[in-house]
């Protein structure tokens, strides 16, 4: 069984590997000679087009305010918050703040993110006999977005039993109400 700490270390290593790959990609001008200011600009560009609420939440939890593209001054005043991400991606230091790690994953377009989804997927891989896994790929403009859908047989059975109980309860209530009238 993989511990949460081991999973987090794997997540960070996967983010670093994706960073090396993305240096050759469309955002290479931001990533090749990495600075805090370039990370800030990349963050703005990525969040402008992101439809992932987890990315917006990671930003909000790290910076303490909601992302708004027109609010560049507030973000510019917080450029130093990108320092740990910069040194982490360069391999100079380790990153311990989970929100910063998730933001780093967003900046290099690592999926699955945030860490909770990554950890859940890794746990599911290790216990693959518990259910089914389905990966859906959606094409949004030029960007492919992959979402992971986990279907656990036990949860499905519990939900169907709950639905049956609710249906029986509603039917009983209607029956008792009609007798009262």
Q: CA torsion sign, 128 to 133 to 139 to 143?
A: negative
Burial class (CB in 10 A: 0-12, 13-18, 19+), 99: middle
Whether 12 contacts 95, CB under 8 Å: yes
pLDDT band at 179 (very low <50, low <70, confident <90, very high): confident
**Conformational region of residue 64, where left means phi above 0, alpha means psi within -120 to 50, and beta covers everything else:** left
User: Which residues 6+ apart lie within 8 Å of 59 measured at CB?
Assistant: 43, 47, 66, 67, 103, 106
Q: What is the pLDDT of residues 38-84, one digit of tens each?
A: 998 888 888 888 878 888 888 888 888 888 878 778 888 888 888 99
Give the angle subtended at the CA of 23 by the CAs of 19 and 27, to the nearest 5°.
Answer: 100
CA dist., res. 177 & res. 181, Å (int): 7
Q: What is the pLDDT of residues 81-137, one digit of tens each?
A: 889 999 999 899 888 888 888 889 889 988 877 787 777 777 766 665 444 444 444
Is residue 167's pLDDT more than 80?
no
| Predicted local distance difference test score (pLDDT) of residue 83 | 92
């Amino acid at each position: 069984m993989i511990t949460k700490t081991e999973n987090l270390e794997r997540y960070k290593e996967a983010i670093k590997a994706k960073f090396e790959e993305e240096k050759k990609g469309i955002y290479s001008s931001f990533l090749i000679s990495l600075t805090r200011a370039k990370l800030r600009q990349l963050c703005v560009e990525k969040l402008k087009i992101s439809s992932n609420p987890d990315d917006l939440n990671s930003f909000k939890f790290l910076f303490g305010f909601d992302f708004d593209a027109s609010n560049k001054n507030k973000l510019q005043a917080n450029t130093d918050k990108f320092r740990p991400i910069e040194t982490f991606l360069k391999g100079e230091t380790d990153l311990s703040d989970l929100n910063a790690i998730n933001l780093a994953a967003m900046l290099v377009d690592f999926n699955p993110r945030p860490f909770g989804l990554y950890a859940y997927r890794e746990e599911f891989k290790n216990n693959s006999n518990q259910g089914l896994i389905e990966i859906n790929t959606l094409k949004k403009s030029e960007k492919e977005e992959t979402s992971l859908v986990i279907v656990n047989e036990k949860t499905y059975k519990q939900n169907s039993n709950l639905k049956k109980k609710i249906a029986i309860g509603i039917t009983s209530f209607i029956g008792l109400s009609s007798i009262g009238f």
